[in-house]
Structure 1
Amino acid sequence: MSSRLVSTAACATLTILAGCSLFGKDKAAQVPQLASADAYYNNGIDALRSRRYTLAAAEFEVLQQNYPYSGYTANAQLMEGYAYYLQSKYAESAQQLDRFIELHPTSGDAPYAFYLLALCYYEQIGDVRRDQQMTSESMSRLQDVIARFPQSKYARDAQLKIDLCRDHLAGKEMLVGRYYQQQRAYEGAIGRYQRVVQDFQTTNHVAEALERLVEVYLSLGLTDEARRTGSVLAYNYPGSKWYRYAYSDLKRYRLLEAGTPKPGTTKGPAGAASQAETLSPAQSAARGIGRADAPPALSSAPVQPVNSEPLTQQSDGSTLTSNVAHQGVGQGTSGRPR
């Protein structure tokens, strides 16, 4: 009986082993074979060139997950960030670019990565009626590009973007100042207008800010301040429509001095002021204006792993433009913008 039990157990064991062997073969046959790192990378490049951005991001992500030590991994991180950027998925793009910068701070593509990261914030700037926190964040990121890579082509364009951000912030101050003025909250209006004059001297809003100050001072009976501000406006913007408005107000209040210059001629119909909504960078980008060029690695996909060697730069990210502009508000009965 003992020998029979041993024989039965042996047969059962052989049966189980055979079954495991067959199951193992079936399972191995079901495991898909991974493509090579260069295949994933070049598939992603092809997807980018054909504007299949979602597929491109997926290809680069699979490469990073399965070949974390490949020579293609660094470029895949940068390319995935660019693919997200082209889809206006700025949070995902920023996360990917931050990862690239953290892991490859000395890469030849680092200037572009910092620049594209700044644009992820820049293109989220809303119009002047919205909160401008993103504008401040964008300025900080753009200044970082200039500080780190002052001689790069990206630094030149970053400076242009900073100027546009400052113009945007000044536009916000003017919007709030005009609201306070309409509500007769003159102290708040003066504070906003003076900030534009003092902190945003290089923007296009200074002439209007000075003219608005003349209006407010006259409303408060502060004739000396009104005359003094009018003189500053006359010296710096003698041919602007804003000086023409201030000159008219000072003349009506009989505050013109003997040497006060008359307003010069201005372009366009007298008293006209365009009424246009300020376009944010994101709105401009949606119309195909101001988008970033491809990173250098897109222009020449490498055949061999690139490691830390920079690729040939064939695109110029400094050619970006912006459609940000501030062109006044509605007009009052006298033809003057209000």
Structure 2
Amino acid sequence: MEIYKLIQIVIQMKQIIILCLLSLFICSGCALFSSPKKEKSAQELADLGMKEFNKGNYSYAVEHFEKLKDWYPFSKLAVLAEIKIADSHYKLKEYEEAVLAYEQFESLHPRNEKIPYVLYRIARCYYDRIDTIDRDQTPARNALHAFNRLIKQFPANRYSRQSEAYIRKCLRSLAEHELYVGRFYFKTKQYKAALYRFKAVISNYPDLGVNWQALQYIILCEDILKEKKNKTL
């Protein structure tokens, strides 16, 4: 009797297992033959990206434009995506990423009509990182180089005309930094080093409103050095 009950239990368990396997197979089959989720078109992704960009949601804009660029690399809209990815990074103040994206665009599309704009934005990425005159002036030098490259390649372009004011500000920052370093050397009585810096202001950065200060320090340094020399004779 007990053996009979055991056999019935085993049969019931087998039936349950078979039913479970059949249910799993049916569900899998439904999923297999169901229509896949439709991917967005290039135009839809471009529209979504621009919508988020115009709303100031630049991170979301990058996501849509990255999909557009990856899914439709040969679409004309992929060029738009490349520019707007760079612009989004710039708006987010992610300047290194922006420069990389702009430079990649320039490399891929050297004759594109947007190149003057791209060069201008590269320069602005450096310019916007210029700090106070007592800090490293590498951003000012890089910005100056980038603005000058734009003007050299596209002298008549409107972005070149806009660059002129920024170039003057870059030069002013570099001149004031040189003056700042010269004053530091002067205060620490390193008069030869100070004189070198003040003369560099005169020769490298004329007509920027700081020459008169440099000239005053040059006279002071030369007088002190002359006096020291006379004392040693």
> Which range moved further: 173-182 or 203-212?
203-212
User: Does the C-alpha gap of structure 1 residues 27 and 212 become closer, same or farther in structure 2, counting only changes over 3 Å?
Assistant: farther
Cα distance between partner residues in 2 of 1:145 and 1:125:
19
Give matches, 1:9-158, under 5 Å: 19=25, 23=28, 25-27=30-32, 29=34, 31-158=36-163
Structure exhibiting the larger radius of gyration computed from Cα positions = 2
Note the C-alpha offset of 1:167. Answer: 1.0
Equivalent of residue 169 in structure 2, options 164, 187, 191: 164
Q: Which runs of 5+ in 1 are unaligned?
A: 1-14, 223-338
**TM value normalised by structure 2:** 0.81
- 1:22 deviates by 5.7
* SS of residue paired to 1:127: coil
Deviations 1:248-277 (A, max 9, x none): xxxxxxxxxxxxxxxxxxxxxxxxxxxxxx
Q: Deviations over 1:98-151 (max 9, x none)?
A: 121111111111110111111111111222111112221111111111111111
> Could you report, residue by residue, the CA deviation over 1:154-199 in whole angstroms, capped at 9, with x for unpaired residues?
1112222222111111111111100111111110110000000011
Distance 1:219 1:152 in 2: 50
SS at match of 1:108: coil
Percent of residue pairs bearing the same amino acid type? 25
CA RMSD of aligned residues (A): 2.1
Seen in structure 2, the aligned counterparts of structure 1 residues 28 and 203 have a Cα distance that, compared at 3 Å, is farther
Q: CA separation in 2, counterparts of 1:24 and 1:111?
A: 56
Deviation of the 1:215 alpha carbon: 2.1
CA distance in 2, matches of 1:146, 1:205: 25
Show structure 2 runs of 5+ residues with no match: 1-20, 228-233
**Structure 1 ranges of 4+ moved more than 4 A:** 27-31
SS in 2 for 1:35: coil
Map 1:142-291 → 2, pairs under 5 A: 142-221=147-226
The separation in 2 between residues aligned to 1:132 and 1:174, in whole angstroms, is 13
- CA offsets per residue over residues 56-82 of structure 1, 9 Å max, x none? 111111110111111100011101111
Residues in 1 aligned to 2:166 and 2:51: alpha-carbon distance in whole angstroms: 31
- Secondary structure of 1:47's match? helix
Instruction: Determine helix, strand or coil for the equivalent of 1:207.
Output: helix
TM-score by length of 1: 0.57
